[in-house]
Amino acid sequence: MNSAYDRLTARFARIATIGEANAMLGWDASAMMPSGGAAARGDQLAVLAGLAHGLLIAPEAGDELDWAESEGEPADPWRATNLRLMRHAHTRATALPPDLVEAQARANSACEKVWREARRTADFALVRQHLAEVVRLTRETAAALAPALGMGEYDALMDGYQRGIGVADVAPVFAKYEAFLRWALPQAEERQARDPAPERPVGPFPAAVQEALCRRLSERAGLDYRHARLDRSTHPFCGGTPTDVRITTRYDETDFAQSLLGVLHETGHALYERGLPAAHARQPVGEAAGMAAHESQSLIVEMQASRSDAFLSWLGPELHATFGGDPGPYAPANLGRLWRRVGRGFIRVDADEMTYPAHVILRFRLEQALIAGDLGVADLPGAWNDGFKALLGLTPPDDAQGCLQDIHWYDGAFGYFPSYTLGAMAAAQLMAAARRDVAELDAALGRGDFAPLLGWLRANVHGRGSLLGFNDLLRAATGKPLDPADFEAHLTARYLA
């Protein structure tokens, strides 16, 4: 390898390959591994993560970056962006002292284990001191990253999930949405109350039949099972690698919607991974453009396409043919009322698409206060309840339905939550652009055909990898950066028209 850039690509390919092995072991731990293997699996994952981190922070890596940059910016935009992303990854990694990284990992692991019991018993006091240690170390991490990256401390945490998006970008978007929700939610609830109550299909719905249906629908969406698997886990997820993607779900034999919609959501993630540019595999520029971008792809499949009137007109008869019984609950109009309902509730993962952003806005604000030191961990339950009441008019009856419900903070993931709502907004914006560009898109969905939508996403999102940042990706695909007006227009059309 004659050039520093070539040596870097080899180094990052090795790091990515270790990451792929880590990802497959992580999938196995959730989907296949017997419980007795947990301790050894933790060791295996830690060793692999350490090997990858060591390759990234090695002195030779810094020397190679210096030499490659001294050779001048590559003329090829893919190579130029790849080099910038390599430098960014190296800067983040070397900004953190190894002892801090290890201490954070240990604190996260200890807190997450105690959190499970605290949530089960709705006892925040049980985990309070553990969370205080996680927050303390997260603040140290943010303080170390911020000067290295030239940004604020909370921005540095957000940067780990969606590069180029910080508080100054997100806060006004969320404030605007909060104002929209204040008048739109009561109107949607009033309109919904005038509609006939939806009928729920009556089971049982055998898990094996659901599984076959989920696989068939994910294939129709475009997932190639020569490069994918569908398995079961307690919490649905998408993992694996771009050439060996793994999705999971869980089955409830009294309600097939949970598995079906969950698989369509994870299929959106899987299609993104499968569509990443193969020519840049195992390089930073060949990866997905961030977690908000990733969430946009799951939601454009699940929320935008699969719950559309057009697709439900095809899906209803398919569901009745699969499960039989009374055809009434499978009528497209009934499915629409059933799967597109708004309702105030305490649990984020159960929230509808109109109220879901309120859950994220609350977490975004509390995270900033915790990282800034303006909110003490002991005061978190009260701040949560006050904030939730202000946003949705409800007070959680206990902390299990309040500040204990999500694993993220107790596992050290601060800065991640904004990606969920940014992704939902981007999905609406991308779908509006796809409809403008592809005249037959809804007609195709009415035939159960995702090919026109997938082709558009391949060209405008998937195939671009990380060549563009979040807003530049949206600008290239839709003609403008993130614009929450498209999301509000979507919600207005679906719930208020």
Task: Give the number of C-alpha atoms closer than 13 A to the C-alpha of residue 195, restricted to the C-beta side.
Answer: 20
| pLDDT band, residue 106 (cuts 50/70/90) | confident
Determine whether 266 is an active site residue.
yes
State the pLDDT at residue 50: 86
State the Cα torsion 247-249-255-260 to the nearest 10°: -10
Q: If you average pLDDT over residues 338-349, what whole number do you get?
A: 95
State the pLDDT at residue 258: 92
At residue 293, does pLDDT exceed 90? yes
Q: How far is CA 336 from the centre of its chain?
A: 24
Q: If you average pLDDT over residues 229-257, what whole number do you get?
A: 94
Angle in degrees, CA 395, 400, 403, rounded to 5: 70
Distance between terminal CA atoms of the chain?
Answer: 61
The phi and psi torsions of 151 (rounded to 5 degrees) equal -150, 175
Q: If you average pLDDT over residues 374-386, what whole number do you get?
A: 98
At residue 409, does pLDDT exceed 90? yes
Tell me the DSSP string of 217-258: HHHHHT--TTSEEEEE-SS--EEEETTEEEEEE--BTTBSHH
Residue 353 DSSP one-character state: T
Q: If you average pLDDT over residues 223-240, what whole number do you get?
A: 93
Q: If you average pLDDT over residues 381-402, what whole number do you get?
A: 97
Q: If you average pLDDT over residues 288-301, what whole number do you get?
A: 97
Please, what is the average pLDDT of the chain? 95
| pLDDT band, residue 98 (cuts 50/70/90) | confident
Residue 350 DSSP one-character state: G
Radius of gyration of the CA atoms of the chain, in A: 23
Give residue-wise pLDDT tens across range 455-473. 999 999 999 999 999 999 9
| pLDDT band, residue 116 (cuts 50/70/90) | confident
Q: What is the C-alpha to C-alpha distance for residues 315 and 445, in angstroms, rounded to an integer?
A: 10
| pLDDT band, residue 178 (cuts 50/70/90) | very high
Q: What is the pTM of this model?
A: 0.95
State the pLDDT at residue 109: 86
At residue 1, does pLDDT exceed 60? no
At residue 141, does pLDDT exceed 80? yes
Cα–Cα distances (Å) from 397 to 36, 384, 388, 402, in that order, read 36, 12, 12, 8
Looking at the chain, the whole-number percentage of residues with pLDDT higher than 90 is 89
At residue 202, does pLDDT exceed 60? yes
The per-residue b/e assignment along 409-439, b for 16 or more CB within 10 angstroms, e otherwise, is bbbbbbbbbbbbbbbbbbbbbbbbbbeeeee
In this structure, is the dihedral angle defined by the CA atoms of residues 165, 423, 362 and 249, taken in order, positive or negative?
A: negative
Nearby residues of 279 by Cβ (< 8 Å), 6 or more positions away: 286
Give residue-wise pLDDT tens across range 11-54. 999 999 999 999 999 899 888 998 888 888 888 888 888 899 99
Give residue-wise pLDDT tens across range 214-224. 999 999 999 99
Q: How far is CA 494 from the centre of its chain?
A: 23
Instruction: Please report the beta strands in 257-379, taking only residues with DSSP state E, as ranges in sequence order.
Output: none
Looking at the chain, the whole-number percentage of residues with pLDDT higher than 70 is 100
State the pLDDT at residue 359: 98
Give residue-wise pLDDT tens across range 350-378. 899 999 999 999 999 999 999 999 999 99
What are the helix and strand counts (H, E) for the chain? 20, 3
From 266, 273, 295, 367, the catalytic residue: 266
Residue 97: how many other CB atoms lie within 10 Å: 12
Which domains, from first to last, does the chain contain?
Answer: 1-95 (no CATH), 109-497 (1.10.1370.30)
| pLDDT band, residue 431 (cuts 50/70/90) | very high
Beta bridge partners of 255: 252
At residue 349, does pLDDT exceed 80? yes
Q: What is the C-alpha to C-alpha distance for residues 385 and 238, in angstroms, rounded to an integer?
A: 32
Burial of 312 (0-12, 13-18, 19+ CB in 10 A): buried
Q: What is the C-alpha to C-alpha distance for residues 45 and 23, in angstroms, rounded to an integer?
A: 9
State the pLDDT at residue 112: 87
Q: If you average pLDDT over residues 139-147, what whole number do you get?
A: 98
